[in-house]
Amino acid sequence: MKLLHTADWHIGRTLNGYSLLDEQKYAFKQILQIAKDEQVDGVVIAGDIYDRAIPGTDAITTLNEMFKSLNIDNKFPIFAISGNHDGAKRLNYGRDWMQFNNFHINTLLKEAFTPVETQDTQIFMLPFFDPMDARVYYQQQGMAEEKVKDIKTIGDAMQLVLADIYAEFDPNKKHLLITHFAVSASADKEIDLTSETTSKVGGLQTLTASQFDKFDYVMLGHIHTKNASPSLNIRYSGSPVKFNVKEAKPGLKKGVYIVDTNEEATKTDFREILPGTDLIPLEETWETLLDPDFYSKQPVRKDWFAITIKDFDRSQHTSTNVRAQLQNIYGTVVELDYDNIAKKSDEQNTSENISQLSNEAVVGQFFESITGDPLSKTQKALVDDIFVELERGE
Protein backbone atom coordinates (compact mmCIF):
# COMPACT_ATOMS: atom_id res chain seq x y z
CA MET A 1 0.00 0.00 0.00
CA LYS A 2 0.97 3.59 -0.48
CA LEU A 3 -0.41 5.87 2.23
CA LEU A 4 -0.20 9.57 3.04
CA HIS A 5 0.51 9.94 6.76
CA THR A 6 -0.58 13.17 8.42
CA ALA A 7 -1.72 14.05 11.95
CA ASP A 8 -2.53 16.81 14.41
CA TRP A 9 -4.61 19.04 12.17
CA HIS A 10 -6.16 20.75 15.23
CA ILE A 11 -8.87 22.30 13.08
CA GLY A 12 -10.26 25.38 14.82
CA ARG A 13 -7.06 26.28 16.63
CA THR A 14 -6.19 29.91 17.28
CA LEU A 15 -2.84 31.56 17.92
CA ASN A 16 -3.25 34.15 20.68
CA GLY A 17 -6.72 34.98 19.38
CA TYR A 18 -5.84 34.84 15.67
CA SER A 19 -7.75 32.19 13.74
CA LEU A 20 -5.62 29.62 11.90
CA LEU A 21 -8.45 28.31 9.72
CA ASP A 22 -7.18 29.99 6.54
CA GLU A 23 -3.69 28.62 7.19
CA GLN A 24 -5.15 25.14 7.80
CA LYS A 25 -7.11 25.34 4.54
CA TYR A 26 -3.94 26.37 2.71
CA ALA A 27 -2.07 23.38 4.14
CA PHE A 28 -4.93 21.04 3.26
CA LYS A 29 -4.82 22.05 -0.41
CA GLN A 30 -1.18 20.96 -0.48
CA ILE A 31 -1.99 17.68 1.28
CA LEU A 32 -4.70 16.95 -1.28
CA GLN A 33 -2.38 17.74 -4.18
CA ILE A 34 0.35 15.49 -2.76
CA ALA A 35 -2.20 12.67 -2.41
CA LYS A 36 -3.20 13.15 -6.06
CA ASP A 37 0.37 13.37 -7.35
CA GLU A 38 1.38 10.24 -5.46
CA GLN A 39 -1.85 8.39 -6.27
CA VAL A 40 -1.98 7.08 -2.71
CA ASP A 41 -4.23 4.24 -1.61
CA GLY A 42 -5.45 6.19 1.41
CA VAL A 43 -4.91 9.13 3.74
CA VAL A 44 -4.02 8.50 7.39
CA ILE A 45 -4.93 11.13 10.00
CA ALA A 46 -3.35 10.04 13.28
CA GLY A 47 -5.45 11.95 15.78
CA ASP A 48 -6.13 15.47 17.07
CA ILE A 49 -8.30 16.19 14.06
CA TYR A 50 -10.07 18.98 15.93
CA ASP A 51 -8.40 21.25 18.46
CA ARG A 52 -11.04 20.74 21.13
CA ALA A 53 -13.67 18.26 22.20
CA ILE A 54 -16.52 20.63 21.32
CA PRO A 55 -15.39 22.44 18.15
CA GLY A 56 -16.93 25.64 16.86
CA THR A 57 -19.23 25.69 13.84
CA ASP A 58 -16.53 27.20 11.59
CA ALA A 59 -14.19 24.33 12.49
CA ILE A 60 -16.88 21.71 11.84
CA THR A 61 -17.77 23.24 8.46
CA THR A 62 -14.11 23.45 7.45
CA LEU A 63 -13.35 19.84 8.37
CA ASN A 64 -16.48 18.58 6.62
CA GLU A 65 -15.37 20.32 3.44
CA MET A 66 -11.91 18.75 3.73
CA PHE A 67 -13.30 15.26 4.26
CA LYS A 68 -15.74 15.68 1.37
CA SER A 69 -12.93 16.78 -0.92
CA LEU A 70 -10.72 13.84 0.05
CA ASN A 71 -13.21 11.04 0.35
CA ILE A 72 -16.18 11.87 -1.89
CA ASP A 73 -14.84 14.17 -4.62
CA ASN A 74 -11.44 12.47 -5.01
CA LYS A 75 -12.29 8.95 -3.78
CA PHE A 76 -9.41 8.64 -1.31
CA PRO A 77 -10.01 6.16 1.53
CA ILE A 78 -9.48 7.79 4.93
CA PHE A 79 -8.02 6.05 7.98
CA ALA A 80 -8.51 8.34 10.99
CA ILE A 81 -8.39 8.08 14.77
CA SER A 82 -9.21 10.46 17.59
CA GLY A 83 -6.49 12.11 19.67
CA ASN A 84 -6.52 13.57 23.15
CA HIS A 85 -7.93 16.86 21.88
CA ASP A 86 -10.87 15.25 20.10
CA GLY A 87 -14.27 14.48 21.58
CA ALA A 88 -14.22 10.72 21.00
CA LYS A 89 -17.97 10.10 21.24
CA ARG A 90 -18.88 13.10 19.08
CA LEU A 91 -16.33 12.21 16.42
CA ASN A 92 -17.71 8.66 16.38
CA TYR A 93 -21.09 9.85 15.11
CA GLY A 94 -21.89 8.41 11.67
CA ARG A 95 -18.98 5.94 11.79
CA ASP A 96 -21.01 3.04 10.41
CA TRP A 97 -22.25 5.11 7.47
CA MET A 98 -18.76 6.38 6.67
CA GLN A 99 -17.36 2.88 6.28
CA PHE A 100 -19.56 2.35 3.23
CA ASN A 101 -17.49 5.04 1.51
CA ASN A 102 -14.08 3.80 2.70
CA PHE A 103 -13.94 6.36 5.48
CA HIS A 104 -12.65 4.44 8.48
CA ILE A 105 -12.58 6.21 11.83
CA ASN A 106 -11.88 4.75 15.28
CA THR A 107 -12.43 6.81 18.41
CA LEU A 108 -13.13 4.15 21.05
CA LEU A 109 -10.76 1.55 22.45
CA LYS A 110 -13.08 -1.35 21.67
CA GLU A 111 -12.82 -0.55 17.95
CA ALA A 112 -9.03 -0.97 17.83
CA PHE A 113 -9.01 -4.78 17.81
CA THR A 114 -10.70 -5.17 14.42
CA PRO A 115 -8.30 -4.16 11.63
CA VAL A 116 -9.12 -2.76 8.23
CA GLU A 117 -8.20 -5.63 5.92
CA THR A 118 -6.76 -5.43 2.41
CA GLN A 119 -5.44 -8.26 0.28
CA ASP A 120 -1.99 -8.13 1.87
CA THR A 121 -2.24 -5.72 4.84
CA GLN A 122 -3.94 -5.33 8.20
CA ILE A 123 -4.33 -1.72 9.36
CA PHE A 124 -4.92 -1.43 13.10
CA MET A 125 -6.28 1.93 14.28
CA LEU A 126 -5.73 2.61 17.98
CA PRO A 127 -7.20 5.94 19.15
CA PHE A 128 -5.93 7.85 22.16
CA PHE A 129 -7.14 6.33 25.43
CA ASP A 130 -6.23 6.61 29.09
CA PRO A 131 -5.89 3.95 31.81
CA MET A 132 -9.49 4.48 32.95
CA ASP A 133 -10.76 3.70 29.43
CA ALA A 134 -8.76 0.47 29.54
CA ARG A 135 -10.15 -0.43 32.96
CA VAL A 136 -13.71 0.01 31.74
CA TYR A 137 -13.06 -1.96 28.55
CA TYR A 138 -11.40 -4.94 30.25
CA GLN A 139 -13.99 -5.00 33.00
CA GLN A 140 -16.64 -5.29 30.28
CA GLN A 141 -14.64 -8.14 28.76
CA GLY A 142 -14.93 -10.05 32.04
CA MET A 143 -11.46 -9.47 33.44
CA ALA A 144 -11.15 -10.19 37.16
CA GLU A 145 -11.54 -7.10 39.32
CA GLU A 146 -8.10 -7.59 40.88
CA LYS A 147 -6.43 -7.49 37.46
CA VAL A 148 -8.49 -4.51 36.38
CA LYS A 149 -7.23 -2.59 39.40
CA ASP A 150 -3.66 -3.34 38.33
CA ILE A 151 -4.16 -1.09 35.26
CA LYS A 152 -2.71 2.08 36.76
CA THR A 153 -0.56 3.63 34.02
CA ILE A 154 -0.75 3.97 30.27
CA GLY A 155 2.13 1.49 30.13
CA ASP A 156 0.06 -1.10 32.03
CA ALA A 157 -2.89 -0.53 29.72
CA MET A 158 -0.87 -0.56 26.52
CA GLN A 159 0.75 -3.89 27.39
CA LEU A 160 -2.70 -5.51 27.52
CA VAL A 161 -4.04 -3.70 24.46
CA LEU A 162 -1.09 -4.57 22.24
CA ALA A 163 -1.14 -8.21 23.34
CA ASP A 164 -4.76 -8.43 22.22
CA ILE A 165 -4.00 -6.68 18.94
CA TYR A 166 -1.06 -9.01 18.26
CA ALA A 167 -3.42 -11.94 18.77
CA GLU A 168 -5.39 -10.71 15.74
CA PHE A 169 -2.36 -10.72 13.40
CA ASP A 170 -2.68 -12.63 10.14
CA PRO A 171 0.83 -14.06 9.65
CA ASN A 172 0.43 -13.84 5.88
CA LYS A 173 -0.09 -10.08 5.86
CA LYS A 174 1.79 -6.92 6.78
CA HIS A 175 0.72 -5.14 9.94
CA LEU A 176 0.40 -1.36 10.21
CA LEU A 177 -0.60 0.69 13.25
CA ILE A 178 -2.08 4.18 13.48
CA THR A 179 -2.04 5.62 17.00
CA HIS A 180 -1.70 8.81 19.06
CA PHE A 181 0.75 8.74 21.98
CA ALA A 182 4.13 10.00 23.11
CA VAL A 183 6.61 7.30 22.13
CA SER A 184 10.32 7.55 22.86
CA ALA A 185 13.20 5.56 21.38
CA SER A 186 13.90 3.92 24.74
CA ALA A 187 13.04 4.25 28.42
CA ASP A 188 16.08 6.41 29.15
CA LYS A 189 15.47 8.88 26.31
CA GLU A 190 13.04 11.75 26.70
CA ILE A 191 11.19 13.48 23.91
CA ASP A 192 10.17 17.11 23.72
CA LEU A 193 6.48 17.22 24.62
CA THR A 194 6.17 21.00 24.42
CA SER A 195 5.19 20.85 20.77
CA GLU A 196 1.91 19.23 21.83
CA THR A 197 0.52 22.69 21.86
CA THR A 198 -1.73 23.28 24.83
CA SER A 199 -1.15 20.40 27.17
CA LYS A 200 0.99 17.39 27.83
CA VAL A 201 -2.18 15.39 28.43
CA GLY A 202 -1.50 11.85 27.31
CA GLY A 203 2.20 12.59 27.28
CA LEU A 204 3.09 12.89 30.96
CA GLN A 205 4.23 9.29 30.61
CA THR A 206 5.83 8.10 27.40
CA LEU A 207 5.74 4.69 25.79
CA THR A 208 8.80 3.08 24.20
CA ALA A 209 9.41 2.01 20.62
CA SER A 210 10.14 -1.59 21.62
CA GLN A 211 6.50 -2.04 22.65
CA PHE A 212 5.49 -1.68 19.00
CA ASP A 213 8.24 -3.74 17.38
CA LYS A 214 5.90 -6.42 16.06
CA PHE A 215 4.35 -3.95 13.59
CA ASP A 216 5.90 -3.49 10.16
CA TYR A 217 5.24 0.24 10.44
CA VAL A 218 3.66 2.64 12.96
CA MET A 219 2.15 6.01 12.01
CA LEU A 220 2.03 8.32 15.03
CA GLY A 221 0.29 11.50 16.02
CA HIS A 222 0.55 13.67 19.17
CA ILE A 223 4.00 15.27 18.83
CA HIS A 224 4.04 18.09 16.29
CA THR A 225 7.44 17.48 14.72
CA LYS A 226 8.74 14.58 12.63
CA ASN A 227 12.06 15.06 14.43
CA ALA A 228 10.59 13.28 17.47
CA SER A 229 10.18 10.00 15.55
CA PRO A 230 11.70 7.22 17.70
CA SER A 231 12.80 4.95 14.82
CA LEU A 232 12.75 4.51 11.05
CA ASN A 233 9.62 2.35 11.25
CA ILE A 234 7.84 4.35 13.98
CA ARG A 235 7.34 7.91 12.83
CA TYR A 236 5.54 11.11 13.64
CA SER A 237 4.40 13.07 10.62
CA GLY A 238 4.14 16.22 12.72
CA SER A 239 1.42 18.82 12.29
CA PRO A 240 0.95 20.49 8.87
CA VAL A 241 0.77 23.99 10.42
CA LYS A 242 2.93 25.91 12.91
CA PHE A 243 0.90 26.35 16.09
CA ASN A 244 3.35 28.29 18.27
CA VAL A 245 6.76 29.93 18.32
CA LYS A 246 8.56 26.75 19.32
CA GLU A 247 7.27 25.09 16.18
CA ALA A 248 8.54 28.03 14.11
CA LYS A 249 12.20 27.37 14.90
CA PRO A 250 14.49 27.14 11.86
CA GLY A 251 14.87 23.60 10.61
CA LEU A 252 11.54 22.31 11.97
CA LYS A 253 9.82 21.61 8.66
CA LYS A 254 6.12 20.87 8.44
CA GLY A 255 4.78 18.24 6.10
CA VAL A 256 3.49 14.72 5.56
CA TYR A 257 5.02 11.30 4.93
CA ILE A 258 4.37 9.10 1.94
CA VAL A 259 4.56 5.55 3.31
CA ASP A 260 5.04 2.78 0.75
CA THR A 261 4.75 -0.78 2.08
CA ASN A 262 4.83 -2.46 -1.33
CA GLU A 263 8.48 -3.38 -0.94
CA GLU A 264 9.77 -5.81 1.67
CA ALA A 265 11.19 -2.86 3.65
CA THR A 266 8.76 0.01 4.09
CA LYS A 267 9.90 3.17 2.31
CA THR A 268 9.07 6.70 3.43
CA ASP A 269 9.35 10.06 1.74
CA PHE A 270 8.76 13.34 3.59
CA ARG A 271 6.92 16.03 1.63
CA GLU A 272 7.15 19.55 2.98
CA ILE A 273 4.06 21.72 3.52
CA LEU A 274 4.76 25.40 2.96
CA PRO A 275 2.90 28.06 4.99
CA GLY A 276 0.59 30.57 3.38
CA THR A 277 1.25 33.07 6.14
CA ASP A 278 4.45 32.15 7.95
CA LEU A 279 5.17 32.67 11.64
CA ILE A 280 8.43 34.56 12.10
CA PRO A 281 10.04 34.63 15.57
CA LEU A 282 12.26 37.65 16.24
CA GLU A 283 14.35 38.19 19.36
CA GLU A 284 16.13 41.53 19.16
CA THR A 285 16.67 44.74 21.09
CA TRP A 286 14.20 47.60 20.74
CA GLU A 287 16.75 49.62 18.80
CA THR A 288 17.32 46.81 16.31
CA LEU A 289 13.62 46.18 15.81
CA LEU A 290 13.12 49.85 14.89
CA ASP A 291 16.15 49.96 12.60
CA PRO A 292 15.11 50.17 8.91
CA ASP A 293 18.25 48.26 7.91
CA PHE A 294 16.94 45.33 10.00
CA TYR A 295 13.22 45.31 9.33
CA SER A 296 13.60 45.97 5.61
CA LYS A 297 15.03 42.45 5.38
CA GLN A 298 11.97 40.93 7.09
CA PRO A 299 8.70 39.86 5.37
CA VAL A 300 6.88 42.82 6.93
CA ARG A 301 3.12 43.07 6.38
CA LYS A 302 3.17 39.64 4.75
CA ASP A 303 3.81 37.10 7.52
CA TRP A 304 2.97 36.98 11.22
CA PHE A 305 5.54 37.92 13.82
CA ALA A 306 6.23 36.68 17.34
CA ILE A 307 8.54 39.30 18.82
CA THR A 308 10.64 39.13 21.96
CA ILE A 309 12.30 42.42 22.90
CA LYS A 310 15.67 41.88 24.53
CA ASP A 311 17.07 43.99 27.37
CA PHE A 312 13.97 46.17 27.42
CA ASP A 313 13.65 48.72 30.20
CA ARG A 314 9.97 49.55 30.41
CA SER A 315 10.59 52.54 32.65
CA GLN A 316 12.19 54.27 29.67
CA HIS A 317 9.10 53.71 27.49
CA THR A 318 6.17 54.52 29.76
CA SER A 319 4.51 56.69 27.12
CA THR A 320 5.21 54.29 24.24
CA ASN A 321 2.54 52.00 22.81
CA VAL A 322 5.03 49.24 22.09
CA ARG A 323 2.69 46.86 20.27
CA ALA A 324 1.18 49.60 18.11
CA GLN A 325 4.61 50.87 17.08
CA LEU A 326 5.79 47.39 16.15
CA GLN A 327 2.58 46.58 14.27
CA ASN A 328 2.94 49.82 12.33
CA ILE A 329 6.26 48.47 11.04
CA TYR A 330 5.82 44.70 10.89
CA GLY A 331 2.09 44.27 10.41
CA THR A 332 0.47 41.46 12.42
CA VAL A 333 2.26 40.79 15.71
CA VAL A 334 0.59 37.69 17.16
CA GLU A 335 2.84 37.54 20.19
CA LEU A 336 4.85 40.12 22.12
CA ASP A 337 7.20 39.20 24.94
CA TYR A 338 10.08 40.77 26.85
CA ASP A 339 13.44 39.34 27.84
CA ASN A 340 15.14 41.66 30.30
CA ILE A 341 18.16 40.02 31.89
CA ALA A 342 18.47 42.95 34.28
CA LYS A 343 15.16 42.15 35.96
CA LYS A 344 14.63 39.69 38.78
CA SER A 345 12.82 36.41 38.37
CA ASP A 346 9.49 37.78 39.57
CA GLU A 347 9.33 40.20 36.67
CA GLN A 348 10.50 37.54 34.25
CA ASN A 349 7.71 35.23 35.38
CA THR A 350 5.19 38.03 34.96
CA SER A 351 6.31 38.69 31.40
CA GLU A 352 6.44 35.02 30.44
CA ASN A 353 4.01 34.25 27.65
CA ILE A 354 1.50 31.95 29.28
CA SER A 355 0.34 30.63 25.91
CA GLN A 356 3.59 28.68 25.64
CA LEU A 357 2.97 26.77 28.87
CA SER A 358 1.01 23.56 29.16
CA ASN A 359 -2.10 23.63 31.31
CA GLU A 360 -0.28 21.51 33.87
CA ALA A 361 2.62 23.97 33.99
CA VAL A 362 0.22 26.88 34.59
CA VAL A 363 -1.40 25.01 37.48
CA GLY A 364 2.04 24.05 38.82
CA GLN A 365 3.28 27.65 38.75
CA PHE A 366 0.12 28.92 40.45
CA PHE A 367 0.32 26.21 43.12
CA GLU A 368 3.97 27.00 43.83
CA SER A 369 3.32 30.75 43.96
CA ILE A 370 0.64 30.20 46.62
CA THR A 371 2.17 27.40 48.71
CA GLY A 372 5.87 27.87 48.05
CA ASP A 373 6.18 24.17 47.17
CA PRO A 374 6.06 22.43 43.77
CA LEU A 375 3.38 19.87 42.96
CA SER A 376 4.17 16.39 44.20
CA LYS A 377 4.25 13.43 41.81
CA THR A 378 0.78 12.38 42.97
CA GLN A 379 -0.58 15.91 42.55
CA LYS A 380 0.89 16.14 39.04
CA ALA A 381 -0.80 12.87 38.10
CA LEU A 382 -4.11 14.17 39.48
CA VAL A 383 -3.82 17.40 37.49
CA ASP A 384 -3.03 15.40 34.34
CA ASP A 385 -6.12 13.21 34.88
CA ILE A 386 -8.31 16.29 35.31
CA PHE A 387 -7.11 17.79 32.04
CA VAL A 388 -7.67 14.47 30.26
CA GLU A 389 -11.33 14.70 31.23
CA LEU A 390 -11.57 18.38 30.32
CA GLU A 391 -9.94 17.91 26.91
CA ARG A 392 -12.16 14.97 26.15
CA GLY A 393 -15.29 16.29 27.84
CA GLU A 394 -18.57 15.46 26.20
Question: Residues 155-212: pLDDT tens digits?
Answer: 999 999 999 999 999 999 999 999 999 999 876 666 655 555 444 444 446 799 999 9
Amino acid 391: pLDDT: 60
Amino acid 214: pLDDT: 95
- The three-state secondary structure class of 323 is helix
Mean pLDDT value across residues 4-27: 96
Encode pLDDT of 231-244 as tens digits. Answer: 999 999 999 999 99
**pTM of the predicted model over 0.85:** no
Mean pLDDT value across residues 266-274: 95
What is the average pLDDT score of the chain? 88
Percent of the chain residues topping a pLDDT of 70: 87
Using the predicted structure, report yes or no on whether residue 378 has a pLDDT greater than 60: yes
Mean pLDDT value across residues 259-277: 92
Encode pLDDT of 29-79 as tens digits. Answer: 999 999 999 999 999 999 999 999 999 999 999 999 999 999 999 999 999
What's the rounded Cα separation, in Å, for the pair 324 and 316? 17
The better pLDDT of the pair 46, 251 is held by 46
Using the predicted structure, report yes or no on whether residue 122 has a pLDDT greater than 50: yes
pLDDT band with cut points at 50, 70 and 90 for residue 386: confident
List the domains of the chain with CATH numbers: 2-272 (3.60.21.10), 279-391 (no CATH)
Encode pLDDT of 336-348 as tens digits. Answer: 998 864 444 444 4
Using the predicted structure, report yes or no on whether residue 369 has a pLDDT greater than 80: no
Beta-carbon contacts of 335 under 8 Å, excluding residues fewer than 6 positions away, are 15, 16, 245, 305, 306, 307, 353, 355
Number of helical H runs and strand E runs in the chain: 13, 18
- The three-state secondary structure class of 9 is coil
The better pLDDT of the pair 269, 362 is held by 269
Q: What are phi and psi of 133, to 5 degrees?
A: -60, -40
Amino acid 253: pLDDT: 93
Mean pLDDT value across residues 287-292: 96
Quick one: DSSP state of residue 375?
Answer: P
